Chains A and B, each alone.
Chain A
């Protein structure tokens, strides 16, 4: 117990420091928002496995580490170089990337020359202080991602000192993907990073974003990220979230999207890294005719633990949602998938489909999967399903009879399982990275 008290003290101390540092600089509403979020975090504390939403994911290890919250301080001796940024980046987004070191935006490490005129991509704190955007941000920040319900969202809302505000104006299309490039740098040992992103896609805008989380060391650190997305009528957004944190890292992330009429949001979430990762993704279909694809792939081994909680909320008629999550588990790893689909009163002609499939490569891996449907409208089309399986003997045998070694055969079939998700990715370098990562992980090679 004393440990937890001490740990909460760390976050409180960071909060006080942040308050002092920003005193007088911030808009009053933002200062109040932070205070209120900190209060909420103190009330909630870190979630325990007694809570239904956290039943299978024990975050006690996070509360036991003495993390040092990074609240805007900047160390000059940082080891992150431009070469590392390039190595961890995506060629399509070389001229449109925002680079964050331990959650803090470093404009000098990125480039935005590839963005069309009119597109805003700036530090969130600066944007809040800017009278052009202050009111707009006030209208949307912390509206979609509710800090009252989630302690980690509360902590991020209270402690986030940096992040990004992106505004894609009406009718503008981004040619290249915009990359939110989060890199952990061991210059701050045991760093706890709280990046925050708010994206507003105005009417009929089009964009692809990549949100990647990686590290240049194998250190233990804690990422607590929140990304909020607001799509106005007819806007389209493709969102790739690639989590490949270090093997000892903790990764807690929230993605929250509000969809306007006839807007379209496609999310693909890839989880490879971290000893413990949790992703909460919520899509609110609050206007007619919205459509979303919420796909994911988690590939874990060893003692890794990965948890996905999704909520697709059909509030209005004629909305469509599709969800395909696939998991590959080896070693003693564990995965949790909890997918809720709500179809509210009056959300007629809803079309909702959800699938979670898992492939266990070892007898010690474990999956807890729970698709949930709650339907309050009567004219809807909904389907959901979950499956957990192993590689079939007949499939292996088939490949072996072609002279392919047992392990390679197993790897090819594993790759084949993941491919359904990978094949839909439209950014070539992400696809290539995943091909390589999945095949490397399973130690295969493939050329044609």
Chain B
């Protein structure tokens, strides 16, 4: 589904990603972990197409197509979704209006008929169950006045409505209390199936107790420093990121981070 080859990216001229290779197949759950500044959020944003991040080298193929040539909205309509660490508030536009707009943009793109407000209401009611959100959220402006946990649940609601093929969750667990984490993770698990893939970008192992990854990739200094199965996350939890970064430094990889 997704093939990342030797990906290099910079922001404001500062190189952040320095050669990422990663393959993601449908049905898989990948966790991207790493210390602050390792480039894991940058990777998420580059995949979603953030204009501030410049790809300087390498390529990304999504379903065989050159992802990097596609505008962010095009990527979204092609089935890529990113849940934001800090979702944006959109005053004056209700959650229901917004979701229907996004949903219909995708339908149009796929050559399907748009849903009218009533039809969409039924669909929305169904999908909202995934993140245990009640109807009052639908008439409120997008994320406006939402608590941190509500914003994250709203991200997963958007995912539930848009049914992406590739969902990238950028630090979705940050700032969540245990109840909200359980709801958010439960939603992701419900939405995951053999036809789609999920990428969890996270600093902590905690989320992975709820969403169990098939693969764990640990980033350090803009490269993948270590890869493994879910047990790698547990090992990290125990030994900390220093264990990875020091071994990376010792082997000469990511040396730019060591002065």
Q: Which A residues are closer than 8 A to B by beta carbons?
A: 393-395, 397-406, 408-409, 412-413, 415-420, 422-423, 446-448
Q: Specify the chain B residue showing the minimal Cβ separation from A448.
A: B97
6 more A-B residue pairs beyond the given contacts A398-B88, A420-B92, with a C-beta to C-beta distance below 8 A: A402-B162, A403-B73, A404-B105, A412-B101, A448-B94, A448-B96
Q: Which B residues are closer than 8 A to A by beta carbons?
A: 48-52, 71-73, 75-77, 80-82, 84, 87-88, 90-94, 96-98, 100-102, 105-106, 109, 117, 141, 158, 162
Given known A-B contacts A395-B88, A416-B92, A446-B97, A401 and B81 have beta carbons under 8 A apart: yes
Give which listed residue, B73, B92, B100, B162, contacts A409 with CB less than 8 A: B73
Given known A-B contacts A404-B73, A404-B105, A399 and B90 have beta carbons under 8 A apart: yes
Q: A146 to chain B: closest CB distance in Å? A: 38
A399 — which chain B residues lie within 8 A by C-beta?
A: 88, 90
Give which listed residue, B73, B87, B96, B100, contacts A400 with CB less than 8 A: B73
Q: Specify the chain A residue showing the minimal Cβ separation from B138.
A: A448
Give which listed residue, B73, B75, B80, B97, contacts A406 with CB less than 8 A: B73
Q: B182 to chain A: closest CB distance in Å? A: 25
A405 touches B93 (CB 8 A): no
* Bound: A282/B151 CA distance, A: 42
B102 touches A402 (CB 8 A): yes
Given known A-B contacts A393-B52, A395-B88, A447-B117, A405 and B100 have beta carbons under 8 A apart: no
Q: A196 to chain B: closest CB distance in Å? A: 36
User: Can you list 12 A-B contacts (CB < 8 A)?
Assistant: A393-B51, A394-B88, A397-B51, A401-B75, A401-B81, A401-B84, A402-B76, A402-B158, A403-B106, A404-B105, A419-B93, A419-B141
A403 — which chain B residues lie within 8 A by C-beta?
A: 73, 76-77, 102, 105-106, 109, 162
Q: A111 to chain B: closest CB distance in Å? A: 34
Given known A-B contacts A393-B51, A448-B100, A406 and B71 have beta carbons under 8 A apart: yes
A401 touches B94 (CB 8 A): no
Q: B95 to chain A: closest CB distance in Å? A: 9
Q: A366 to chain B: closest CB distance in Å? A: 25
A412 touches B109 (CB 8 A): no
* Bound: A34/B38 CA distance, A: 77
A401 touches B49 (CB 8 A): yes
B93 — which chain A residues lie within 8 A by C-beta?
A: 412, 415-416, 419, 446
Q: Specify the chain A residue showing the minimal Cβ separation from B82.
A: A401
A398 — which chain B residues lie within 8 A by C-beta?
A: 84, 87-88
A416 — which chain B residues lie within 8 A by C-beta?
A: 90-93, 141
A418 — which chain B residues lie within 8 A by C-beta?
A: 92
Given known A-B contacts A393-B51, A397-B50, A403-B73, A419 and B102 have beta carbons under 8 A apart: no
Q: A294 to chain B: closest CB distance in Å? A: 21
Q: Specify the chain A residue showing the minimal Cβ separation from B168.
A: A401
Q: Specify the chain A residue showing the minimal Cβ separation from B87.
A: A398
* Bound: A399/B162 CA distance, A: 13
A422 — which chain B residues lie within 8 A by C-beta?
A: 92
B50 touches A419 (CB 8 A): no
* Bound: A412/B75 CA distance, A: 20
Give which listed residue, A395, A400, A423, contacts B76 with CB less than 8 A: A400
B96 — which chain A residues lie within 8 A by C-beta?
A: 448
A408 — which chain B residues lie within 8 A by C-beta?
A: 101
A415 — which chain B residues lie within 8 A by C-beta?
A: 92-93
B117 — which chain A residues lie within 8 A by C-beta?
A: 447-448
B84 — which chain A residues lie within 8 A by C-beta?
A: 398, 401
A397 — which chain B residues lie within 8 A by C-beta?
A: 48-51, 72
A405 touches B105 (CB 8 A): yes
B52 — which chain A residues lie within 8 A by C-beta?
A: 393
A404 — which chain B residues lie within 8 A by C-beta?
A: 73, 76, 101-102, 105
* Bound: A395/B102 CA distance, A: 15
* Bound: A406/B162 CA distance, A: 18
A423 touches B92 (CB 8 A): yes
Q: A197 to chain B: closest CB distance in Å? A: 32
* Bound: A447/B121 CA distance, A: 12
* Bound: A447/B117 CA distance, A: 7
B90 touches A447 (CB 8 A): no
* Bound: A419/B91 CA distance, A: 7
* Bound: A313/B13 CA distance, A: 52
A401 touches B72 (CB 8 A): yes
Q: B68 to chain A: closest CB distance in Å? A: 15
B97 touches A401 (CB 8 A): no
* Bound: A413/B94 CA distance, A: 12
A420 — which chain B residues lie within 8 A by C-beta?
A: 91-92
Given known A-B contacts A393-B51, A419-B91, A448-B100, A401 and B71 have beta carbons under 8 A apart: no
